[in-house]
Amino acid sequence: MKIWAAMLECNVMAPDFPTSPVYRGRFAPSPTGPLHLGSLVAALGSWLHARARGGEWRVRIEDVDRTREVPGAADAQLEALRRFGLHWDGEVVRQSDRDGLYQAALEELLGRGLAFECHCSRSDLEPAGGIHRACVASAPRDIPAIRLRVPDDTVVTFDDAVHGHLMQRLDAEVGDVVLRRADGCWAYQLAVVVDDAAQGITDIVRGADLLDSTARQIFLQRALGVPTPRHTHLPLILDDEGRKLSKSLAALPLDAADPLPALSVAWAALGQETGLVGGCGNVDGWLARATTAFDESRLPRGAQPSPHRTT
């Protein structure tokens, strides 16, 4: 397939599929600001999930949306991870360097009739609640969006280690999925699926705010013929008004000069027993103890997921 040929041209290693004994997880922050408590919970949770299994932990900067990037934020996030002792394996991958991979995937889907050009604006789709099931564009666009075709009655089911067996009626709840936006930027859904395949990610451990994206990513993985990783969605950290911390004024940067207090708060937010990591005076010792004590079965569900539970 074109996508695998593009990986070879870009010197991307052949992926290790989930059937491989090698565990490979990842943390993929967007460079829109400094690391905050919510992102530390996601980073620590995914790091512990990987290290407790003797696996690899990769870091990917998801800067595919250039319009939201804050200059210097990516480097600041990486430095914060170092100070919190969350060291990664291999080189840091940046989505801004991977246009060739995304283009190859898009051309493959277009060539197979699985994707199509769309000139619809948000206002065009407002009467349908923003869900695209047919093109109703009021005027052509200079650069059309590209969408993944979702057939009628498409139901995707999957298992999440925290939230159980889930399903989503993709055509009715999501509609045809945007792969490239009308402003020319790659859509998150395409970029993350291509990157996870290219990096051989076997386990996705991330915040529960992305649980709603999982079904459309699985559908796209099937369309591209790439493996589906295992999923674990971690609890979100909400402010006093119930908003996700990264969208709140309370999402202040962490004190990376004094990492142990924030690590302890993140550990508790992951539902772990606080007494098991007490008494450590340095980050490396704390993380070593946390890796041994980490209990996945204690991860809380947190906010209710958007997809419907079936069990």
Which amino acids are annotated catalytic? Answer: 247
State the Cα–Cα distance between residues 118 and 52, nearest whole angstrom.
45
Q: Dump strand ranges (E) for 119-266.
A: 145-148, 155-160, 164-169, 177-180, 203-207, 230-234
Phi, psi values for residue 173, rounded to 5°: -95, -25
CA 289 to chain centre: 27
The residues, ordered by sequence, that sit 6+ positions from 46 with a Cβ below 8 Å of its Cβ are: 25, 26, 27, 57, 205, 206, 234
What one-letter code names the amino acid at 98?
A: R
Nearest to 30 by CA among 55, 76, 62, 54: 62
State the Cα–Cα distance between residues 56 and 75, nearest whole angstrom.
21
Counts for the chain of helices (H) and strands (E), in that order: 10, 11
Phi, psi values for residue 88, rounded to 5°: -110, 165
Cα distances (angstroms) measured from residue 182 to each of 21, 81, 114, 142, 309: 40, 34, 18, 8, 34
State the Cα–Cα distance between residues 223 and 245, nearest whole angstrom.
34
93-94: strand order across its sheet: 24-27, 56-61, 93-94
Q: Dump strand ranges (E) for the chain.
A: 24-27, 56-61, 93-94, 115-118, 145-148, 155-160, 164-169, 177-180, 203-207, 230-234, 308-309
State the Cα–Cα distance between residues 172 and 194, nearest whole angstrom.
25
